Amino acid sequence: MADTRFASSTREVPDSDSVPRHVAIIMDGNGRWARRRLLPRVAGHKRGVEAVRATIRRCIERGISYLTLFAFSSENWRRPEDEVSFLMQLFIRALEEEVAKLHENNIRFRVIGDLSRFDSRLVSLIDRAEKMTSSNDTLTLTIAANYGGRWDILQAVERMLADSPEKRQGFCEEDIARYLALDHAPEPDLFIRTGGEQRISNFLLWQLAYTELYFTDRLWPEFDAGALDEAIASYGRRERRFGRTSEQLASGGESDVATAR
């Protein structure tokens, strides 16, 4: 069962700092990176794994506690079959080769998404990795695989009603929130999308309600520590008002803030 430690940005004003606690990234642009080099698209995916490593390292150095990466959307099954199967193989290989390193670095590993469409070998590798790293606490790394924001909301409502049929009579935001796939993390503070597109592509629809959005033209295989620092610096310059006025923020007091009803 989910814990309820994390504040809802629409129900109360969460604490925020100049460095985000949770960064969520749509890692886009692998195919274009490869095409520009006259390479097959899959070469870009392979190269993208290195950008993942660099990002994890930098998140730890910057004291970020949660990193959520969109690796495969529920709509990515629409891609050519050989690209989909390459991505699955890459995921399997990464799990086989990297999980021990994650564990050594005290990283907790989680996967969110509908795993029912994955082959059993992949599901058991995920399960093993999650169990092995479950008590690590330097960084929680969540991979969204066969994830869709709409799927997430629907599965949350379904599971909630299965557990508590009486909620058919009425339920609130918190009832749903505790069944969402990302229940183990606070709402993201900073969302990054590489590759130049400015859209959410069915990523964390519920959880991005008050997240700061950052878009960069840089393609994912070229996203490095410096690029993450730039995104964090941009975040540090934002004024997170959560519905309040700048004057209220300047006066610094929480006293005149009415809580959400």
Q: Provide the binding-site residues for ligand IPE, judged by CB under 6 A.
A: 26-32, 70-73, 76, 87, 195, 197, 199, 201
Question: What letter represents residue 73's amino acid?
Answer: S
Query: Helix, strand or coil for residue 147?
Result: strand
Residue bearing tokens 């990464």:
94
| Closer Cβ to ligand IPE, 70 or 109, answer by number | 70
Residues 28, 30, 146, 152: which is the catalytic one? 28
Nearest-CB residue to ligand IPE?
Answer: 31
State the Cα–Cα distance between residues 129 and 209, nearest whole angstrom: 30
Determine phi and psi for 107, rounding to 5 degrees: -95, 130
**Which of ligand IPE, Mg ion, none has residue 32 at its interface (CB below 5 to 8 Å by kind)?**
ligand IPE
Size of the site for Mg ion (CB under 5 A): 1
**Which of ligand IPE, Mg ion, none has residue 10 at its interface (CB below 5 to 8 Å by kind)?**
none
Determine phi and psi for 110, rounding to 5 degrees: -135, 155
Task: List the end-to-end C-alpha distance of the chain, in Å, as a whole number.
Answer: 26
**Which of Mg ion, ligand IPE, none has residue 76 at its interface (CB below 5 to 8 Å by kind)?**
ligand IPE
H/E stretch holding 73 reads strand 66-73
CB-CB contact of 219 with 32 (8 Å): yes
Nearest-CB residue to Mg ion?
Answer: 28
For the question of residue 105 being annotated catalytic, the response is: no
For the question of residue 76 being annotated catalytic, the response is: yes
Nearest approach, Cβ of residue 13 and ligand IPE (Å): 30
Helices and strands of the chain, counted as H and E runs: 8, 6
Show the tokens assigned to 237: 């310059």
Looking at 135-234, which runs of residues are DSSP E strands?
139-147, 190-193, 212-215
Residues 3, 17, 30, 76: which is the catalytic one? 76
28 forms part of the interface with Mg ion (CB under 5 A): yes
| Closer Cβ to ligand IPE, 109 or 220, answer by number | 220
Nearest approach, Cβ of residue 48 and ligand IPE (Å): 7
Q: Which of residues 90-119 bind Mg ion (CB under 5 A)?
A: none
Q: Which residues bind Mg ion (CB under 5 A)?
A: 28
Catalytic residue positions, numbered: 28, 76
